[in-house]
Amino acid sequence: MQVIDTAEKLAMFSEHWSPKIVASLNDYHVKLVKLQGHFTWHCHQDTDELFMVLKGRMNISLRDREVVLQPGQLFVVAKGVEHRPWSEEECSALLLEPAGVVNTGDAGGAQTAANDVWI
């Protein structure tokens, strides 16, 4: 059990779309991710997914609307709902989801990242 400083952890990596685990809570993982550009459309059939913006501005495209998140705002994408995170400028966010969730969900492809990297 240790204090996790999100700013310190974010300073430890620079790559985009590659979530890093910083804490576990039962069978869930808390991850930090940096975003810039467009991610792939995907969904997670078995789980909700929480995003909380820590720095910058994050967009989440849904099939029927656009969501914009600023620091201190959070959003839960319900399971099975297609979404496409994107950010014009670099943005940092906290993710919360069950351990083992793959970032690209059912879509796969080049943006698929390892889902077990701790920092």
CA distances from 98 to 26, 30, 56, 94, 107 (A): 9, 9, 25, 13, 18
Touching a second copy, residues 75-104 (CB under 8 A) = 75-79, 81, 96-98
d(CA 114, CA 18): 7
What lies within 8 Å, CB to CB, of 96 at 6+ separation is: 25, 28, 29, 30, 31, 49, 50, 52
Q: What 8-state DSSP symbol labels residue 16? A: S
Of 50 and 102, CB closest to a second copy: 50
Closest separation in Å from C-beta 117 to a second copy? 18
Judge contact between 41 and 60, C-beta under 8 A: no
Closest separation in Å from C-beta 38 to a second copy? 20
* Out of 5, 66, 88, 106, the residue judged to bind a second copy by CB under 8 A: 5
Touching a second copy, residues 8-67 (CB under 8 A) = 22-26, 28, 30, 47-50, 54, 62, 67
Q: Which parts of this chain interact with a second copy (CB under 8 A)?
A: 1-7, 22-26, 28, 30, 47-50, 54, 62, 67-69, 72-79, 81, 96-98
